[in-house]
Amino acid sequence: MSACLTRRDAGQSKQRTAVTLLRSCALMLVATFGLSQAAHAAGAEDIKARGYLSVATEDDYNPFEFVENGKNTGYDNDLLALMRKKLGVDVKQQVMPWSGILPGVTTGKYDMALSAVLVTEERKKIFDFASPTCEAFTVYATKKGSPIKTTDDLVGKVVGAETGSAMLTDLKAFNEELKKKHGGNGLKQIVEYQSYPEAYQDLGLGRVDAVANTQISLNSLVKTRPDVFVVGQAIGKPTYIAWAVKKGNADVLRMVDAALLELRKSGEMYQLQQKWLGASYKDMPQSVN
């Protein structure tokens, strides 16, 4: 097993903050697994009766969803703006950190995670996914000038990823492959972060040697800071990004899929992909469930 540590700072106040975050995460896990079966997922009649769809969106995951100058922006928020015209009901959006989004869907607090959720087999056991919004795979980024040029160069290095993310899962699986390939030698350490901006800051300061994230997100990072960061090689298999609903909530899926597939047909989704992601993904399947 690799050492997986939450980032710690020297000040006691920050240590207390870290403890609070860990306790919050523990409570959310209890909610996820203890209440997921009992929680009620709103159906079409419920949604029509109250007049809105409740969604949760991350607040700091460029280029998918982030807040800039006090405004929600990014690929998913632009998609939402187009969706509002086609759903037939209002959308109430809660913008929040990633750690609370999926637990909020499993407990029924939100109808959908309107966020860049990487589709994995493990997540399919708990969630159903709307029609995908783009393709993705996990890669690593390094500081410019780093001696790390290939995945093999990550042996003995410290690599960061966001806690609870599919990219962290990919990183852990990659570490096991490294160990098999290099006689038990893998990463020196995996550091978990509450958000990617923290990880990028530490990468720039040299506190970690690399950060694992989706290629799309790291391309966006390098585009904004080409003098500091570079994108490396893939450490995960290709997959898709899609919005998530509580497993079995077919009513919400039908409602959302109809709008998303219409945006594909009109070409509007592909235009937004090009704008925010730098590529268009026209060969995606209609369903990933």
The whole-model pTM stands at 0.66
Does some domain include residue 1? no
Q: Are residues 144 and 126 in the same domain?
A: no
Predicted confidence pLDDT, tens digits, the chain (289 residues):
433 443 333 343 444 444 344 444 444 443 444 443 445 566 667 787 888 899 999 998 889 999 999 999 999 999 999 999 888 889 999 999 998 999 999 999 999 999 999 898 999 999 999 999 999 889 999 999 999 999 999 999 999 999 988 899 999 999 999 999 999 999 999 999 999 999 999 999 999 999 999 998 898 899 899 999 999 999 988 889 999 999 999 989 999 999 999 999 999 999 999 999 988 999 999 999 9
Question: Is there a single domain that holds both residue 164 and residue 196?
Answer: yes
Q: Quick one: 126 and 88 in the same domain? A: yes
On whether residue 262 sits in a domain, the answer given is: yes
Which CATH number is 34's domain given? 3.40.190.10
User: Does 207 reside within a domain?
Assistant: yes
Distance CA 38, CA 22 (A): 25
Give the tokens for residue 120.
Answer: 């994995």
Q: Residue 226 domain-assigned?
A: yes
Question: Are 113 and 161 in a shared domain?
Answer: no
End-to-end CA, the chain: 31
What residues have CB less than 8 Å from 235, skipping those under 6 apart?
138, 139, 140, 151, 154, 170, 171, 174, 212
Whether residue 82 sits in one domain with residue 64: yes
Claim to verify: residue 180 and residue 114 sit in the same structural domain: no
The parent domain of residue 273 ranges over 29-136+240-277
Q: Are residues 143 and 219 in the same domain?
A: yes
Residues 252, 222: Cα–Cα separation, whole Å: 36
Residue 186 lies in a domain: yes
- SS3 assignment, position 162: strand
